Chains A and B, each alone.
Chain A
Amino acid sequence: EADIYQTPRYLVIGTGKKITLECSQTMGHDKMYWYQQDPGMELHLIHYSYGVNSTEKGDLSSESTVSRIRTEHFPLTLESARPSHTSQYLCASSEPRGIETQYFGPGTRLLVL
């Protein structure tokens, strides 16, 4: 069982606001990921990191940015939220070696008005 946390769980915010979605894990996993998923739709990888100071863009273009200053922490930031950013954001982490088994956090549901 993975210990991976996301805050806030739900966020309603106005257009133009800056927001940061938090993701933390306590397993010491080097690899962390952010996915975006609309209701009933596919998971899309938007960012990933293989360790401290490593960040890469995922398969889906996103206006968000990420940072990885500490192993356990992988926050995602939207500088200016728009209604098109309304979605569920899922954070995941995986062990540094062996099979790429990813464990997901509970997700953040974002609604931009």
Chain B
Amino acid sequence: QKEVEQNSGPLSVPEGAIASLNCTYSDRGSQSFFWYRQYSGKSPELIMFIYSNGDKEDGRFTAQLNKASQYVSLLIRDSQPSDSATYLCATEGAAGNKLTFGGGTRVLVKP
């Protein structure tokens, strides 16, 4: 079992709809959780992080964390074609100082 699991997709979303991405992790001691966006051929860029249970909103993005169930999700509201990318979930383990990345979910937003 991978430490951080994501559905590889592609997740196809109509323009203007909500894209919902999920991520599960195995290290119950994980402290912080990150969402990165990676366009094809480019390096990952940080979207947001969350470390407390519940929701955290930043513009059109909302991260949701449920430590009891060991999952973190990302909602993209009003999806735009420019949101088409691979979204990487990452966790900072109990030991800290390193991130473990999932395989990423590819999102396609269709006009």
* Residues of chain A at the chain B interface (Cβ within 8 Å): 31, 33, 41-43, 45, 48, 50, 59, 90, 99-107
Contacts and interface: CB of A to CB of B under 8 A. Distances in A.
Among A90, A101, A106, which residue has the most Cβ atoms of chain B within 10 A? Answer: A101
Nearest to A35: B101
A41 to B, nearest CB: 8
Contact of B99 (A42, A100, A105): A100
28 contacts: A31-B97, A33-B98, A41-B103, A42-B101, A42-B102, A42-B104, A43-B44, A43-B101, A45-B98, A45-B99, A48-B98, A90-B44, A99-B31, A99-B32, A99-B92, A100-B92, A100-B97, A100-B98, A100-B99, A101-B46, A101-B49, A102-B46, A102-B99, A103-B46, A104-B43, A105-B43, A106-B42, A106-B43
